[in-house]
Structure 1
């Protein structure tokens, strides 16, 4: 069942990419809303019963991501109404999803003892700095009235990535790697979306957005599935 659902999940991503590229609107309306449905279904089959609070908030992250996907279906032209309002709705939905992920990561953090700030965590923080650099030098000059909401969104998603990095050393390596890769891909996806939306729209960037988004959600889901906390005690310094 999990294998079938995984195939259906990635098939939904592929069909959404194809529909966007070919401007097949009807197919996009069918395929894109199914992405998070299949992901949540896979997650429901994978998670430990002992992690109920984490499960519930993760489902909320999936729900708001699903709402964001639907809102952005109608935001092709965000320069005027109604596309502008759907874009704002999508922005708010995904911002809320990232807040949910932050809460999930912080709840996990409360159950572990941190290894502190180390070279590994500093190295893993490089993508966050890159995104901040792109935002400042590439995207902000083109935002106009969208500057404030996009900056708030950038701060939230960067916080989500930092919260994910903070788990390094406190959960099993396989879980952390998946969560970190997912968070990094989310940064890439959302930054690419901003470039595509405000700087230089292109079909190629649209493909990059959907590929990185699909894998971002999948890796985070896998990292949170059957989550295992490390048993050894380490010094808590942060």
Structure 2
């Protein structure tokens, strides 16, 4: 069995166990301590797949490193932890934008992204009144997240390779995951939110990582 396959299987196992911890937390009101290890471990295992054949570029390393930092910050409660996670993922998305636009420009963004932009505008028009003093950090994050999706769409429109398709799907899943997180954070928790956030997030970064294999 190849190293890449082993890492993928380990990431899936770690992710499923972390999600199981969150299901237990929802049902019993107590999160197993193993979650504190499993959540960052899953992201580390996904990132490790990038190094199997050859080291990735510094921007991609930075994107995954700041995503990991965001993962760790968001394991804890409180506004300071949330802002630390928001800031880490903000930087991660800026790095992803630079990675996606290597060989493409935002001017190549396809027409259908207007639908996504309309969704983003509508979503934030609904969300921002609920964010209180976090309004401006949340809005800034929404802008860069939208830019990340547009950059991946422009890359696929320009290059149209299997790799850019994986990145585009990953970017859209990232936006979906963050939308679910934002609803839970500012509109109140609801059953199934955290498992949905984690599963879509790890699938998102897994697809982005896969787009750079080989």
Is the TM value for this pair above 0.5? yes
SS of 1:108 mapped into structure 2:
coil
Residue deviations 1:143-174 (CA, integer Å, cap 9, x gap): 11111100000000001111111112433521
In structure 1, stretches of 5+ residues that fail to align are 76-82, 227-238
Q: What TM-score comes out, normalization by structure 1 length?
A: 0.81
Tell me, yes or no, if the aligned pair for 1:10 and 1:214 is still in contact at 8 Å.
no
SS of 1:140 mapped into structure 2:
helix
Tell me, yes or no, if the aligned pair for 2:108 and 2:158 is still in contact at 8 Å.
no
For residues 15 and 206 of structure 1, what CA distance do their matches in structure 2 show? 13
Q: How far has the Cα of 1:18 moved from its partner?
A: 1.3
For residues 143 and 197 of structure 2, what CA distance do their matches in structure 1 show? 19
SS of 1:203 mapped into structure 2:
coil
For residues 120 and 188 of structure 2, what CA distance do their matches in structure 1 show? 17
Aligned to 2:204: 216
Tell me, yes or no, if the aligned pair for 1:9 and 1:35 is still in contact at 8 Å.
yes
SS of 1:26 mapped into structure 2:
coil
- Dislocated runs of 4+, deviation >6 Å: none
Does residue 89 of structure 1 match 2:84? yes
- Report how many residues are paired: 207
Report matched runs for 1:157-196 at 5 Å. 157-196=145-184
SS of 2:188 mapped into structure 1:
coil
Q: What TM-score comes out, normalization by structure 2 length?
A: 0.89
In structure 2, stretches of 5+ residues that fail to align are 26-30
Q: How far has the Cα of 1:101 moved from its partner?
A: 0.4
Does residue 127 of structure 1 match 2:129? no
State which of 7, 31, 38 in structure 2 corresponds to 1:31: 38
Tell me, yes or no, if the aligned pair for 2:170 and 2:206 is still in contact at 8 Å.
yes
Q: How far has the Cα of 1:29 moved from its partner?
A: 0.5
Aligned to 2:192: 204
Q: How far has the Cα of 1:10 moved from its partner?
A: 1.5
Tell me, yes or no, if the aligned pair for 2:113 and 2:150 is still in contact at 8 Å.
no
State which of 45, 48, 51 in structure 1 corresponds to 2:52: 45
